[in-house]
Amino acid sequence: MAELLFGAQKGDRVFVRRTDESAVYGMSKADFDRLPASSWQFRERRLWNFAEDDIAGATIRKEGKTCQIIRKDKYKWSFAPGSQGIIKNELALEETMRGLAQATAAAWVALGEQNRTRFGFNPGNLQVALDLKSGGKASVEFGGPAPSALEYAAVTFDGQLWIFEFPSPLFRDVMNALPIP
């Protein structure tokens, strides 16, 4: 493990030194500003750890409407009784589910329910809950756009809301492949 000491800023550079070396380096102010500012931001970015084969189905909610889909087999999806819609492409849906099973946060940005409004979370926003064969659930809720051009999303760990920036390619897949009501 390395320890870094940050020093003065000169122009668009910040001076940095490793404690086990005498050399001083410079890093861009933009890179420095992207470093975590709080210890909780160092949490592992992988949201959960299961295979897409562990997914039994999903519940998708948006604007008060709900749609449930069931995974019958690899690349075989159908609607649960009482749900309807169009599954445009089962291959794309399967790959999106694989992406959700392996989802990671691009960056942790806030903790706690009190931050919901600030990051664009409203009751009608898109929510995706993966139903696992074990009986568990893995849920993600989407908020507003981030300045980074990513979308804010939130998950709950140990009863606490964690808000993060959601990876753009996976968000695109969620919006295009899932049967959003």
- The residues, any chain, with a CB within 8 Å of residue 60's CB and separated by 6 or more, are 66, 67, 68, 69, 126, 127, 128, 129, 178, 179, 180, 181
- Burial of residue 60 (CB within 10 Å: 0-12, 13-18, 19+) is buried
Euclidean distance between CA atoms 13 and 135, whole angstroms: 51
Q: Where are the domains of the chain?
A: 4-35, 52-177
What letter represents residue 43's amino acid? R
Torsion 26-28-33-38 (CA) sign: negative
- Render each residue's pLDDT in the chain as its tens digit; 181 residues: 678 888 988 899 999 998 898 889 899 988 887 777 787 887 889 999 899 899 999 999 999 999 999 999 999 999 999 998 889 999 999 999 999 999 999 999 999 999 999 999 999 999 999 999 999 999 999 999 999 999 999 999 989 999 999 999 999 999 999 999 8
- The CA distances from residue 84 to 60, 61, 181, in Å, are 12, 13, 9
pTM: 0.82
